[in-house]
Structure 1
Amino acid sequence: MSAIELAPGETGEPRGGVIPYLMVDGASKAAALYQKAFGAREVARHPQDDKGRTMHLHLYINDGSLMLSDPYPEYGRPHEKPGSFTLTLCVDDVDLWWERASKTEGMVVTMPLERMFWGDRYGELTDPFGIRWAIVGR
Structure 2
Amino acid sequence: MTTINTYLTFDGTCEAAFNFYKSVFGGEFDYIGKFKDMPADPNCKVDEADHEKIMHVSLPISKETRLMGSDTGGEWASKLVTGNNFSISINTESKQDADSLFNKLSKNGTITMPMEETFWGAYFGMFTDQFGIQWMVNYDDPAKGNF
Looking at secondary structure, tell me which structure has more helix per residue: 2
TM-score, with length taken from structure 2: 0.40
TM-score when scaled to structure 1? 0.42
